[in-house]
A and B are shown apart, each in its own frame.
Chain A
Amino acid sequence: MSIGKNVYKQKIVMLGDFAVGKTSLVNRYVYNIFSEKYIATLGVRVSKKDVTLTLNNKTINVTILLWDINSEDRFQRVLPQYIMGANGAVIVADVTRPETIENLKHHIEYFRTYAGGKGIVLSLNKTDLINYDQFGFLKQKMERDAIFSKMQTFFTSAKENQNIEDLFINLARLSIVSKEG
């Protein structure tokens, strides 16, 4: 939704299992910082980033509001209030923990339940921790999967600042296009 003159405000939610690097991705993108220390997110922390996009030869100012949300497990839920009204989602998995990749489908479904068919991009994070062969294997796995193959997937490393900008800018673009389209 655009509020104010020619400024789009995009609510983007970060979803994924615990310790996959959701907060690290936000910190890297918004504040350009990275810490090895793991700090669990409780509730939601919203960070803002102003960007300028070119879309159909038009320059658009966008304020991306990144909702860094706690992971869900049997002790805490991802509240629907956090998801509702979102323009898109970054759904994150840790490439070193296969179960977090399997769980992407659960997060996709949950997001769609409360936000409808909004844009989703997948982030397979912590690629700095795997070797070239493992990377190739994962890439094939994602391409073979019926659900994942239809989505934009970014292999990211918050630590090494790989693909982070692309990840968020592509989602912002996708969200605006899908809203206007």
Chain B
Amino acid sequence: MSDIVYNAIRKRVKVFFEFIDSELMIHPTQNDFWEYLNIRIPENPVPLTDIIFELVGKEIEITLLLKGEKKSINIPAIQRETEKDRNTYFDLELITCDRSDYPLIVIIEDRTRIFSYQQKLVQSRNETKLLQKQLAEKNKALEKLNTIIQRQNLDLEKRVRERTQELQSARIEIIRRLAQAAEYRDPETGSHIVRMSKTCVLLAREIGLSEKDCDLIYHGGSMHDLGKIAIPDAILLKPGPLSSKEWQIMKQHTIRGARLLSDNDTDLMITGRIIARSHHERWDGNGYPDGISGENIHIFARICALADVFDALVSDRPYKKAWPFERAISTIEEGSGTQFDPEIVKAFLDISDKAIKLQQDFKDKST
């Protein structure tokens, strides 16, 4: 091989070498070797491990090499900073040589290009791994936080629910007592509210209203005569028949009741307002206070109208004795399509046994 070709190959593959004597001294014979390592060419031989310190610890292997018991010593991918901020990578190989003065040759093969590329890959992969781990930890912490928040939310919801329930119960209780206060001024008895409200629920269920509506009608129904609180005793407690003027005042209890329950838009108060105002409306439009008819009358009011009349018919009053159930039922039936919603009358007939039992269970103590 000509020197030109040899040098061209060496330049391309970037392989450098230097000779080592039997005393493990490296001899400066090849300029490019020292140039590559960025070391000033020494004037005299220097100890091998002073220059190639990566061979420290390999003394036994070097001895084996000199004895011919080992072919070579390899250390791949050595990184050196040959100039400031410039890393080079090379593979190192120590092999025997057939020259008597130099039994060993150290060869370095520059691998900077490929290893720099590999370093970038490893760097990128490791950074990704670290990032993934950090993300996983953050996610874990977030999940933990979420669980705590969820638990706190549930606790909070429970407390809000309990508090709302408490407030609702208090509100219902106040309304109930208000309604009772109105009843105390009325010749009708205290149990009327209970029986009438429960009968309303029986009817509401029978015609297929939701449990929420049944609950509303139960509590709202108890407020149907709340307006009587605003009717003068002289009229409300008058034993005899009312004059036309007195009757007009008496009818006002519907409007007064609705007014008492105004300015509040909870479902319960709205229900109470509807029932208080419209429970004396008739299916045929001859009721009061608005004279509305048919389905223009809210279903809650239509139900209460029937329940209220039924309870009045089967209860003792200062001006009349309680009617037998059969007679009361018959009267209700007769009012179908005139006073009452036919569908509700039909429902009432279907649940009349339960309505009668309810009357017996909550019979007034005075009767």
Do these two chains interact?
yes
* Count of B interface residues, CB-CB < 8 Å: 29
Would you give the 0/1 interface string for B73-108, flagging 1 where the beta carbon is closer than 8 Å to chain A? 011111110000000010000000000000000000
Q: Closest CB of chain B to A127's CB: distance in Å?
A: 18
| Contact in complex: A42, B57 (CB < 8 Å) | no
Contact of B49 among A9, A38, A70, A87 (CB under 8 A): A9
| Contact in complex: B56, A81 (CB < 8 Å) | no
| Contact in complex: B123, A85 (CB < 8 Å) | no
Q: Closest CB of chain A to B349's CB: distance in Å?
A: 77
Number of A-B contacts (CB under 8 A): 79
| Contact in complex: B122, A3 (CB < 8 Å) | no
B147 at the interface (CB under 8 A from A): no
Beyond A43-B76, A43-B89, A44-B78, is A75–B122 a contact (Cβ under 8 Å)? yes
B211 at the interface (CB under 8 A from A): no
| Contact in complex: B47, A43 (CB < 8 Å) | no
| Contact in complex: B122, A38 (CB < 8 Å) | no
Beyond A42-B118, A75-B122, is A1–B78 a contact (Cβ under 8 Å)? no
Beyond A1-B57, A4-B47, A84-B57, is A45–B80 a contact (Cβ under 8 Å)? yes
Most B CB contacts (10 A, CB to CB) among A42, A79, A84 go to A42
| B126 neighbours in A (Cβ, 8 Å) | 18-19, 38, 40, 71
Rounded to whole angstroms, the CA-CA distance of A45 and B77 in the bound complex is: 9
Instruction: Specify the chain A residue showing the minimal Cβ separation from B124.
Output: A40
Beyond A40-B119, A41-B79, is A48–B54 a contact (Cβ under 8 Å)? no
In A1-32, which residues have CB < 8 Å from any B CB? 1, 3-4, 9, 11, 18-19
| Contact in complex: B61, A46 (CB < 8 Å) | no
B133 at the interface (CB under 8 A from A): yes
| A86 neighbours in B (Cβ, 8 Å) | 57
